[in-house]
Structure formats: structure tokens, C-alpha cells
Amino acid sequence: MIRSLLYVPASSEKFLARAHERGADALILDLEDAVAPQEKLAARARLKDAVPSAGRNGAKVFVRINAGAPALDDAEAACRAGAFGLFVPKVHAPADVSRIDAHLNRIERAGERVVLVPMLEDPGAVLDARKIAAASARGFALVAGSEDMATAMGAEPTPEVLRLPKLLVHLAAKASGLRSFGMLRSVADFRDIDGVKRAAREARSFGFEGATCVHPSLVPILNAAFSPAPGDRARPPAGCRVRGRASGRAGRVRVRRQDGRRAGRRPRPGAVGTRRAGPAGIDRPGSLLRTSLSAPRGPIYDDRVRVRNAHNIKQREEP
């Protein structure tokens, strides 16, 4: 479970020294925005000690590499230092991910497998999110940018502006079987504690697994918001399979582990008493993303509109 991911400047010995004490499920050692240009080479060289130090209490350690020319050297340094994964910024197309993947294939030792988290930070990347998600078998999660996304759109990074692109990236992650990290707002304003609490709860309700933060004061907030509530049914763990026979109650299917032990139950899609499938079988994120919003409505939709309008007119005419 990764509920909180804390950014730590890889150029700061002060912040690196205490990173393992912050209580975050994952740490992102940042070589990109948090590091001044003249300090980037020294920050990269520091990874060999910083990565194992940051992870000494069990946190997953990611490294956010730089985009462009330094990306491969950053990726190699992070890999050799033992990083769990890479945050790959400013991904515009699947080729940006494939390039990192191919380089890691050449340098990894047997048994190692660095995962990748593409960061989609412009409108074009958002519209190609499913292709980007499928660009590498190393894919672990997708993340949508905030400030850079708004800048690419010529907009302000308000929750209203960021909501749609972040949800589109979230849907692409879910449709591709990847994790989705983030909130439907910017993470830059870490002083707005109440706003972060609301946004984290909202993100959890949408199915986000966790979120990044830039200040350690937000770690406990994210850990609380993204922790399973008492009584919540956990998702079937990896290695489970769903049995097709209904179990006891209508609309449920048994979930058993491959070793035969029971892992819990989950709703049968479209069953009575569970969430109904959408129009034309749109009951999964992938189906929704494949459906054109401008497709012809059809006679069934038109009939529903006429019935609804007639009902509204009747309501207005009644005293």
C-alpha cells in the first residue's frame, strides 16, 4: 500500500538525512524541479548513498529524473543505487517511456526490475494516456501534472481547471491496470490543510490509491485519507482468481486465492443490487475511454429526454 509519496530534494543533505523519519509510504528523491541546474550533477552522484538511506525504515524509494538529455544518466544512477522506481516527468508520447525502458534493460542486473511512473503534464499526453500506460511492462502508476499542465493549457492551476485532465489520466490508469496517484488539485499549496484533507478524501472516493506531497506535514493527512476504513473490503490481492458461481447472496461472486483460501467477495458486474452497467456496456474505465462523447444519441436517448421534459412541464403546471 502506497498512500503517501513525499518529494525530497536530492540536492539537500539536510532533507535527505531525515527523509526516513517522515512516515511516508514512499519517498521521491527529486533530481528535477527541486534541484538548481548547477547542483544537478552533484545530486545525481549523491543517489548511491541517498537511496539506501531514505529507504532504511521500509519506505519505497523512487527517483524523479530529469527530462531530455540527462534522463538516461539519471535513470542509470537511480537504478544502480537501488531505487524501487522512477518518476518520469514531461512524458509527451509512448516513445519517452520506451526509451527509458530500453536503457534500463541494458544495465539491470538479474532479478532487478525498476518500475516506471510516467508523469503526464500537457494536453497531448493526457489524450494519449492509455498508449503511454502500455508503453512499458514496467508501468507501475500514472500521475497527472498540475502547474505544468495548467501552463501548457494557458490556464491557472485551479481545481476546476485540473479536474478533467487528472480524471482522464486516472481513468487511463485504471483501464490499464496501473495505480493512480494524485488529487484533483495542485499539491503546491501545502499550507491549505483543510483543503488538502477534503481533496484527499475526494480522491480516495474516486479510487486514487495515494497522492504525492511536497511537505512532510501532509504525510499523516494522506496516510489517514487513503487508509482503508474499518469494515472496508480489501481488493482481492494479486494472485487471486474470481469464481463464476454465485455465492449465497445475489450479485456476489466468490474470490479465492490460487492456493484455495478465500480472499473475500466482490460484486458481479451488472448484477441485481450492484452497480448497473452504463449504456452500450460502458461499465469499465476502458469502455468509457473508447466511447466518443459526440456519438449520435439514438432513439432510446431521445425518448428518455422527451419523458423527462414532459415530467418537468407537468411539475411546473401543478399548483
- The model's pLDDT over 271-292, given as tens digits with 9 standing for 90+, comes to 444 444 445 555 566 655 655 4
Q: How confident is the model at residue 234 (pLDDT cuts 50, 70, 90)?
A: low
pLDDT tens readout for residues 205-231: 999 999 999 999 999 999 999 998 776
Angle at 228 between CA 227 and CA 230, to 5 degrees: 125
All residues at 6 or more sequence positions from 274 whose CB lies less than 8 Å from its CB, including other chains: 251, 267, 268
77 versus 305: the higher-pLDDT residue is: 77
Same domain, 151 and 30: yes
Q: What is the pLDDT of residue 190?
A: 85
| pLDDT the model gives residue 140 | 98
Q: Does residue 282 sit within a domain?
A: no
pLDDT of residue 121: 97
Residues 136 and 213 in one domain: yes
Between helix 94-107 and helix 71-81 the angle, nearest 10°, is 40
Output the pLDDT for position 276. 44
Sheet hosting strand 60-64, strand order edge to edge: 179-181, 141-144, 115-120, 85-88, 60-64, 26-30, 4-9, 211-213
| Judgement on whether residues 263 and 123 belong to the same structural domain of the protein | no
Is residue 263 predicted with pLDDT exceeding 80? no
Whether 124 maps to a domain, the answer reads: yes
The reply to whether 57 falls in a domain is yes
**Which of 129-133, 283-287, 312-316 has the least mean pLDDT?**
312-316
Tell me, yes or no, whether 301 lies in a domain.
Answer: no
Residue 205 and residue 268 share a domain = no
Q: Which domain holds residue 44?
A: 4-225
pLDDT band at 79 (very low <50, low <70, confident <90, very high): very high
Q: Which of 45, 35, 47 is nearest to 11 (CA)?
A: 35
Last residue of a domain, one of 225, 252, 269: 225
Percent of the chain with pLDDT over 70: 71
Using a pLDDT cut of 90, give the percent of the chain over it: 67
Whether residues 28 and 163 share a domain: the answer is yes
Question: Are both 70 and 187 inside the same structural domain?
Answer: yes
Q: How many residues does the chain have?
A: 319
> In this structure, how many other beta carbons lie within 10 angstroms of the beta carbon of residue 159?
16
Q: Which grid cell sits at 302?
A: 431521445
**Are 194 and 58 members of one domain?**
yes
Please indicate whether residue 271 or residue 184 has the higher confidence score (pLDDT): 184
171 and 132 Cβ atoms separated by less than 8 Å: no
The radius of gyration of the chain from alpha carbons, rounded to an integer in Å, stands at 22
Same domain? For 91 and 216 the reply is yes
Q: Indicate whether 60 pLDDT > 80.
A: yes
Is residue 88 assigned to a domain? yes
pLDDT of residue 229: 79
Residue at a domain's end among 181, 198, 225: 225
pTM of the model: 0.76
pLDDT exceeds 60 at position 186:
yes
User: Which grid coordinates are listed for 199?
Assistant: 481533496
State residue 3's pLDDT score.
98
Mean pLDDT, the chain, rounded, equals 82
Whether residues 105 and 160 share a domain: the answer is yes
Strands 252-257 and 262-267: antiparallel
Q: What's the CATH number where 86 sits?
A: 3.20.20.60
Are residues 120 and 145 located together in one domain of the fold? yes
The whole-angstrom separation of Cα 279 and Cα 29 is 44
Residue 297 belongs to a domain: no
Number of structural domains (the chain) is 2
Q: Which residues contact 287 (CB under 8 A, 6 or more apart)?
A: 278, 280, 281
Q: What is the pLDDT of residues 7-48, one digit of tens each?
A: 999 999 999 999 999 999 999 999 999 999 999 999 999 999
CA atoms within 13 A on the CB side of 3: 16
Decide if 67 is inside a domain. Answer: yes
Residue written as grid cell 432510446: 300
Domain endpoint, select from 198, 225, 252 = 225
Q: Verify that 50 and 144 share a domain, yes or no.
A: yes
Among 73-87, 262-276, 282-296, the range of highest mean pLDDT: 73-87
Secondary structure of residue 109 in the 3-state scheme = coil
Domain identity same for 158 and 24 = yes
Residue 50 falls inside a structural domain = yes
